[in-house]
Amino acid sequence: MAGTDSPSRMSRDELLLVLVISLGSFMAGLDATIVNIALPGIAAFFQAPTVLAAWVLNGYLVVMVSLLLFSARVGDVRGYRPVFLAGFLVFTTGSVLCGLAPSIEYLIAFRMVQAIGGAIISALGAVMVSRHLGAGVRGSALGLVAMFAMLGIALGPVIGGYLVSLLSWRSIFLVNLPVGLAGILFGAAYIPRDRPATPRGRMDLPGAVLLFFTLGSLVIGLNTLQGGRELRGAAVLLVSLLALGLFVGRERKTPSPLLELSLFSDRSFTVQNVAVLALQGVVAGVMLLLPFYLELVRAIPTGTSGALLLALPVGNILSAPIAGRFSDTIGTKRPILAGLLTTVIGLLLLGMLTPESPIAGVVLYLFLVGAGTGMSFAPLNSAVMGEVPGEARGAASGLLRTMANLGSTLGVSLTMLIATAALGPKLAEVTAHLLPPSELMGAFRTVFLCGAAVLILVLVLVWTAARDVVPDPSVPDGTIV
């Protein structure tokens, strides 16, 4: 679709393509959070212990993060259109199976099936935008995709709570059936047919297995550390480190690697991916801690707290398309830096909260964090995808989604570790509900200020090391400055 004149506005067919991709991003984002609010009811229904029920979430996350790169590679070899549509089908089928699961064990297994489809949908979105749309509209398109993904994440608890209270926990999975069918039908109609990027390439299955063990054991190890089982957690993290070493060795030797390690020789590419991981980790940490502040420190009802938390995704939704549009016009670097600075300001303000802070201020600070991340994400995606050659875009797209999802995972785990370190052994001895608000506030401030410090470092790295990707109307892929 991308012509050599690279127009500044999307055509009707391009917009429909972006909407199909955005629908997939919305579904993947929705199912990353919709289960959270239903988990207590699921555990009670199956009379399952909390540790086992938590794998309804953890199983999805581990499979999703681990298969993103492999999914992108499959798209390179088999073609993005058929693989993307297959991902929609697998995700929808897995959703229906989850809704019909007869036991907690089956539900966990079906969630892993669902995650396979989610990984495919997430991995191929950015690469299809970059392949079929010119540089003049790429940032705008990626901004729309990012907006829908954040909308799904934001609405997950709201929609989940409504469906569970009105129907049952099974409805949060079955609701994906009509959405998935719509995505398959519209995708078949509007995703262009084209040749695979690397039709003769091979799929690195051993590399995919090693990456699964690397990321899976990383997630499990960090979660185990939170439970006070330091030795077991350290052992699992050692397994992750060993698996990472084997994965890197494998990728250096195989002629068709799952991950082109040579991409990381480009300092600008590496810094921008680190920025994606850090930003996503900060958002995950903020969304994890703010409910505790609102409900435990400020005694605000759960329903009202959920509504207040929408300030962050609303800020993201409003800023992402605008920043994407600006990056199409002035280049990617300035919007990225502006977004990082805005996010840092929001985090510093959150780090100054007290039990008496005005609620309007809390909402404003959340909005700033959301607006800042939205301002950065679309230009970061556009910059990364604009810097790599066409044959490497599948790998770059999968890596972007891996970094984003891994950032969310690490953000939650590291937030809990920092909070635990700040509170000392008390958190292991009693529940958070029994701790004085003043002690909780100390832990919250520590986490927010640590997040601000990390993003200040990332801002400096982007400022000094990242190149500016400026669209050139005569070159569909843009110009790197």
pLDDT tens figures, 91-139: 999 999 999 999 989 999 999 999 899 888 887 777 777 777 766 666 6
* Residue 459, C-beta contacts closer than 8 angstroms, at least 6 positions apart: 337, 340, 341, 344
Report how far apart, in Å, the C-alpha atoms of 268 and of each of 8, 65, 258, 273, 409 are: 26, 23, 21, 9, 24
Written as one letter, the residue type at 45 is F
- Report yes or no: 398 and 72 within 8 Å, Cβ to Cβ: yes
Q: Which whole number is the average pLDDT over 297-322? A: 78
pLDDT tens figures, 390-441: 556 666 766 777 787 788 778 877 887 787 777 655 444 434 444 556 667 7
Of 30-44, 314-328, 403-417, which gets the smallest average pLDDT?
Answer: 30-44
Query: Phi and psi dihedrals of 257, rounded to 5?
Result: -70, 150
Structure-token pair, residue 271: 């810094």
- Report yes or no: 250 and 206 within 8 Å, Cβ to Cβ: yes
Q: Exposure of 174 by Cβ count < 10 A (0-12 exposed, 13-18 middle, 19+ buried)?
A: middle
Q: What is the pLDDT of residue 252?
A: 85
pLDDT tens figures, 451-480: 999 999 999 998 988 777 665 544 334 333
Query: Phi and psi dihedrals of 260, rounded to 5?
Result: -75, 100
Of 132-146, 336-350, 366-380, which gets the smallest average pLDDT?
Answer: 132-146
Residue 38 CA to residue 35 CA, distance in Å, equals 5
Residue 277 CA to residue 409 CA, distance in Å, equals 10
Higher pLDDT, 74 or 130: 74
Place of tokens 């396979």: 116
DSSP string, 406-455: HHHHHHHHHHHHHHHHHHTTHHHHS-GGGS-HHHHHHHHHHHHHHHHHHH
Range of 42-46, 51-55, 176-180, 343-347 with top mean pLDDT:
343-347
User: Taking the CA of residue 195 as centre, how many other CA atoms within 13 Å lie in the half-sphere pointing to its CB?
Assistant: 7
Residue 444 CA to residue 285 CA, distance in Å, equals 10
* Reported confidence tier of residue 371, pLDDT bands at 50, 70, 90: very high
Place of tokens 């069918």: 181
Q: Which whole number is the average pLDDT over 244-256? A: 86
pLDDT at 346 over 90: yes
pLDDT at 291 over 80: no
Q: What is the pLDDT of residue 369?
A: 93
Helix or strand or coil: residue 476? strand
- Report yes or no: 395 and 72 within 8 Å, Cβ to Cβ: yes
According to the CATH classification, is domain 1-203 in 3.40.50.720?
Answer: no
Structure-token pair, residue 447: 């986490």
Range of 40-49, 192-201, 313-322 with top mean pLDDT:
313-322
Q: What is the pLDDT of residue 234?
A: 87
Helix or strand or coil: residue 470? strand
**Model pTM?**
0.71
Give the CATH number of domain 262-481: 1.20.1250.20
In the chain, residues under CATH classification 1.20.1250.20 are: 1-203, 262-481
Residue 325 CA to residue 92 CA, distance in Å, equals 32
